[in-house]
Amino acid sequence: MKKFSEQQIQLLKEPLIAQLVTIMKDGSPQISPVWVDVDSAGEHILINSVDGRLKLRNIHRDPRVAVGIYDPENPISRALNVRGRVLEITNDGAYDHMDFLAEKYTGKRPYDGHNPENPRLILKIAADQIDSTL
């Protein structure tokens, strides 16, 4: 597992939309825009999702993923691309995490899209390869 630099951690903490790539059953890529976070140790990317989404079905079948995040003000000099794998999928703290992300990205807390019929999950991603311009 690769570790993130302080500059990479800072980029992950900014309210920038990331792209999560998962692998479809036929081997083709599937891409989803996502809100992104980093764990308190700065070692894992965290993504919050609703259970049952296509990206979750893909990850259950094949945990390999890629995550790209780019600063729209300077996408050439401030970019991070990660290839890795989902180590864990948990619902522990997922609603609180989504509230945190809502505040980070919209300035509003709590997240107004909570629906008990659509349980939330946190994806914990370990980096196997990190490519960055930071």
Q: What is the DSSP string of 30-80?
A: EEEEE-EEE-TTS-EEEEEEETT-HHHHHHHH--EEEEEEE-TTSTTTSEE
Instruction: Please enumerate, as own/partner, the contacts of 93-97 that have beta carbons within 8 Å and a separation of 24 or more.
Output: 93/122, 94/48, 94/119, 94/120, 94/121, 94/122, 95/120, 97/37, 97/46, 97/48, 97/122
d(CA 109, CA 66): 28
Report pTM: 0.94
Assess whether pLDDT exceeds 80 at residue 114.
Answer: no
Residue 82 dihedral angles phi and psi, to the nearest 5°: -125, 130
pLDDT value of residue 111: 87
What residues are paired with 118 via a beta bridge?
A: none
pLDDT one-digit tens code per residue, 9-21: 999 999 999 999 9
Q: Which structural domains are found in the chain, ordered by start? A: 6-132 (2.30.110.10)
pLDDT one-digit tens code per residue, 36-92: 999 999 999 999 999 999 999 999 999 999 999 999 999 999 999 999 999 999 999
Sign of CA dihedral 120, 125, 130, 134: positive
d(CA 75, CA 80): 9
Band (115; pLDDT cuts 50, 70, 90): confident
